[in-house]
């Protein structure tokens, strides 16, 4: 089972604060920057062995109806509605 995390931090319910994630706990870690009609995704860690198409599907929540481009090894530009 893949362990996926969006962002460098996550909310700790016990402390009530955002805390850095432990990258060792996840197979895929990414950040997202919203744009007009698109999302910009930077892959921080990828130990999944998945193809670019499979990663793009994960990043877009299984939708990917408008397509994507991969501008660098770790950067995906996904077209959204």
pTM passes above 0.85 = yes
State which residues form the domain around 46: 4-79
Name the strand (E) or helix (H) holding 44. Answer: strand 38-46
Residues 26-62: pLDDT tens digits? 999 999 999 999 999 999 999 999 999 999 999 999 9
Tell me how many domains the chain contains.
1
What was the pLDDT predicted at 40? 98
Cβ proximity of 40 and 32 under 8 Å: yes
Tokens 């700790």 locate to 12
């Amino acid at each position: 089972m893949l362990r996926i995390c969006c962002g460098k931090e996550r909310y700790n319910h016990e402390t009530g604060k955002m805390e850095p994630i432990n990258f060792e706990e996840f197979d895929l870690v990414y950040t997202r920057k919203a744009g007009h009609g698109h999302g910009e995704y930077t892959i921080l860690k990828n130990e999944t062995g998945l193809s670019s198409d499979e990663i793009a599907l994960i990043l877009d929540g299984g939708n990917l109806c408008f397509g994507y481009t991969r501008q660098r090894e770790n950067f995906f530009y996904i077209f959204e509605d």
